[in-house]
Amino acid sequence: MRVILAEDSALLREGLVRLLAEEGHEVQAAVGDAAALLAAVAERRPDIVVADVRMPPTHTDEGLRAALEIRRRWPGTPVLMLSQYVERKYATELMGGDVAGVGYLLKDRVAEVSDFLDALERVGAGGAAFDPEVVRRLLARTTHADPLATLTPRERDVLGHMAQGYTNASIAAQLHVSQSAVEKHVNAIFDKLALSHVTGYSRRVLAVLRFIGT
């Protein structure tokens, strides 16, 4: 894939450039701030953007705001955000819209090269990929909420995997159950979240949005 990378840490940026190149990806540009990221995307139109949430000058949410601007200007451009911490506000904002082609990983996950590359491929293909720790924190926030509180532990596991962007087949493989069992849990989730008779929208997306409280 043609990748544009935005990371203010020169050491991490160079490491990611080398990793992506070794895996056969073309790094079109590797920049250190949000303004350069927007300029590079406007010029190169990459297959995917990988960007740090926090970048200069304030090191707060410049990367996230640039990603949202990219999604607004060039709809459908996949973005994979990296963050040092679980920043619930940012994750919720990113997941609040269309989650197709969106990902959010903790930087520690990048060290697990296979996890990072798997997320890159899924997001680049138009799927979603959210760090399990981010999902766990979001899930913990909603344990008291109704109707989410009515979900069984297994249904919460399934919904958590849905929020990470996995398909039913992938969820079945990871939970070591049949795909039909996962489909049964998904239907139960739709029932409990009152999404059984919703039409015109993806019930899967609506369930994830309900899960993260948007």
CB-based contact 195:203 (threshold 8 Å): yes
Structure tokens at 7: 């990371």
Structure tokens at 12: 């991490």
- Domain residue limits, the chain: 2-142, 147-212
Q: What is the pLDDT of residue 23?
A: 92
Global pTM? 0.69
Q: What is the pLDDT of residue 192?
A: 84
CATH 3.30.360.10 fits 2-142, yes or no: no
CB-based contact 157:175 (threshold 8 Å): yes
pLDDT per position in the chain (214 positions), as tens? 999 999 999 988 999 999 999 999 999 999 999 999 999 999 999 999 999 998 888 888 889 889 989 988 999 899 999 988 776 677 677 766 667 888 888 888 787 888 899 999 999 999 888 887 777 776 665 555 567 778 898 998 998 888 888 889 999 999 999 999 999 999 898 888 877 766 555 677 777 766 665 4
**CB 58: neighbour CB atoms within 10 A?**
8
CATH 1.10.10.10 fits 147-212, yes or no: yes
Q: What is the pLDDT of residue 212?
A: 61
**How far is residue 166's CA from residue 172's CA, in Å, rounded to a whole number?**
10
Q: What is the pLDDT of residue 1?
A: 95
Q: What is the pLDDT of residue 111?
A: 77
Q: What is the pLDDT of residue 109?
A: 79
Helices (H), 7-98: 10-22, 34-44, 62-73, 88-95
Q: What is the pLDDT of residue 142?
A: 54
Radius of gyration of the chain (CA): 17
